[in-house]
Amino acid sequence: MYENYKLESYCDICEAYVKENTKHCKHCNRCCQDFDHHCKWVNNCIGDLNYKIFMMMVTSTMLQFIYTLDCLYQNYNIIQYIE
Ligand SMILES: [Zn+2]
Ligand SMILES: [Zn+2]
């Protein structure tokens, strides 16, 4: 299982050997494995480890947004009906 851990990259800032695909995030000031991007909304790096959590968060936010829109739409209809 240690075959995946190829310590081929060196981070000058952390002064440590890191996996390939690891990039140093200037926002977090630490190395992030399989770095994708830094997300300011969750104030964290989105990489391999938390990518699934990130997708879940995005999906739940989208669902909440649709639900809110639906509620607003229904309320709008009710208001129109009353008037
Ligand atoms: Zn680093
Ligand atoms: Zn980051």
pLDDT tens column, 3-25 = 555 567 889 999 988 888 889 99
The total number of structural domains that make up the chain: 1
Distance 1 CA to ligand 1 centre (A): 23
Confidence of residue 50 (pLDDT cuts 50, 70, 90): confident
Residues of 26-59 as b/e, b for ≥16 C-beta within 10 angstroms?
eeeeebbebbeebeeeeebbbbeebeeebeeeee
pLDDT at 1 over 80: no
pTM above 0.85, yes or no: no
Distance 29 CA to ligand 2 centre (A): 7
List the catalytic residues: 39
Q: Which pLDDT does position 69 carry in this prediction?
A: 92
* Segment 68-77 mean pLDDT: 88
Task: Identify the domain containing residue 61 by its residue range.
Answer: 2-82
